[in-house]
Amino acid sequence: MGKLAFVFPGQGSQYAGMGKELAERFPLARAAFEEADQALGFALSRLCFEGPEEELKLTANTQPAVLTCSVAAYRVLREKDITPDYVAGHSLGEYSALVAAGCLSLRDAVVTVRRRGQWMQEAVPAGEGAMAAILGLPADRVQEVCEQVAQGQVVSPANLNSPEQVVISGHAVAVERAMEAAKAAGAKRAVRLPVSAPFHCALMELAIGPLTQQLASITFNALRVPLVSNVDADLVRTAAAARDALRRQVPAAVRWEESMRKLVALGCDRAVEVGPGKVLSGLWRQIDRSIATLNVEDAASLEKTLAQLAPPKAGLAGAAREATS
């Protein structure tokens, strides 16, 4: 049998109600939310479980919320003896992956990503930046289009998600020009994304300084499980390399398709999306349909994943009994 990868979602996967069912049924999941609430000094758990959506989608809230839900789901899987051979995370999700790999504590990670979200938001005045998804145009053509229409402004590929999807980021007017040029070049669609800042482009430079200081102030441990990083689409095994990758990823493109192909090259034939939503599972179908994908975000998805991956004695019914004992 091949290797198992855990992949952790990033911003955009959040929704009101996420994590609630796992927290109600599994003490380890509930403890993750309590740990995050204590570290942040406010009820992040309530925001995850109840919303409102408008508050949940603010970057400084979204990032710790998605991370905490992902770690809660991971802890339930670990309790059931489901552990990965490799981990990866989409942008913000790399922090979740590093917590799962034993490199970062949940407390340090949740405080850092909340501040990261604030610094990324503050790097560009509201309304000046934008992001858009370009569908059905190869990444090299998207790169050419961005270079052709930049006119001295910033616009560049930000998320190289799959053969079918490249997200661009930069100054709002330059992104609009690139959307029109991409459609003229043969893109199936160009869709403006409802985001609060232009992530993963040169406009994020102002966030690097404070994030670098923050990363230097927290403890990084050697990884128990190798990570495939966003910024290089290559393996990270050491504390120093993990810290450096987190610093460099903020203004750089997320090389997700390459990262997933790296996991395949390493022998992974199964992947579990650990955390809210199924965005990454959808991208897997565009990248490599031979990969068996599962996800864990609630009781039903956990039960399905355990049925596929767990030893015969493990199962949700037993887990639920343990949670109430």
**Considering 13, 45, 70, 91, which one is annotated as catalytic?**
91
Q: If 0-12 CB within 10 Å is exposed, 13-18 middle and 19+ buried, where does residue 243 land?
A: buried
**Considering 96, 196, 200, 259, which one is annotated as catalytic?**
200
| Active-site annotation holds for 171 | no
Q: Which residues contact 324 (CB under 8 A, 6 or more apart)?
A: none
CA 281 to chain centre: 12
| Active-site annotation holds for 96 | no
Q: Which residues are catalytic?
A: 91, 200
